[in-house]
Amino acid sequence: MTGFLGQAYIWFLIIHILSIITWMAGLFYLPRLFVYHAQANATGEPAETFKVMERRLLKAIMNPSMIIAWVFGIALALHIGAFAQGWFHVKLLLVIVMSALHMAMGKWRKDFEANQNKHGHKFYRVINEIPTAILVVIVILVKLKPF
């Protein structure tokens, strides 16, 4: 690649992939914590433990990972001219959807923290599957570039 990143391209790609891995791990795990939290009594030691786990996961792992994935992903997209390619528009839309889901999870975490959860464990079980479906489509788009 001879774009503006030059020799740094491979390192941008490595950082982007690592940040996606950690972001996705959080997107898979946080709804699972919500499932268990929704099944627990709203007060008491288990609920307080879940609150700490959820807050740390979101703030220390998921938020930084999402930001890094976006920053390095945009740089990589500019480097390869992806904004002119159809597959990338679909990928970008899916990443926006995933980011919106991330933000929704942040809202739900705050609801749990305030003991104001509005959803049952079945809701979070369904939510837990969405990042997987999005990830599968994104990987297919990135590797096949079908249009």
Tell me the average pLDDT across 1-17. Answer: 91
Query: pLDDT grade, residue 3 (50/70/90)?
Result: confident
Q: What is the pLDDT of residue 9?
A: 97
Q: What is the pLDDT of residue 63?
A: 98
Query: pLDDT grade, residue 108 (50/70/90)?
Result: very high
Give me the percent of the chain exceeding a pLDDT of 70: 99
3-state secondary structure of 2: coil
According to the 3-state scheme, what is the secondary structure of 88-139? Answer: HHHHHHHHHHHHHHHHHHHHHHHHHHCCCCCCCHHHHHHHCCHHHHHHHHHH
Q: Is the pLDDT of residue 1 over 70?
A: no
Cβ–Cβ under 8 Å, residues 4 and 78: yes
Q: What is the pTM of this model?
A: 0.94
Is 1 part of a structural domain of the chain? no
For the chain, the domain total comes to 1
The pLDDT tens digits of the residues spanning 65-87 come to: 999 999 999 999 999 999 999 99
Sign of the alpha-carbon dihedral angle for 28, 95, 60, 21: positive
Q: Cα(111)–Cα(76) distance, rounded to whole angstroms?
A: 36
User: Residue 92 is part of which domain span?
Assistant: 6-144
Query: pLDDT grade, residue 44 (50/70/90)?
Result: confident
The annotation status of 91 as a binding-site residue, yes or no, is yes
Instruction: Identify the residue whose tokens are 């791990």.
Output: 25
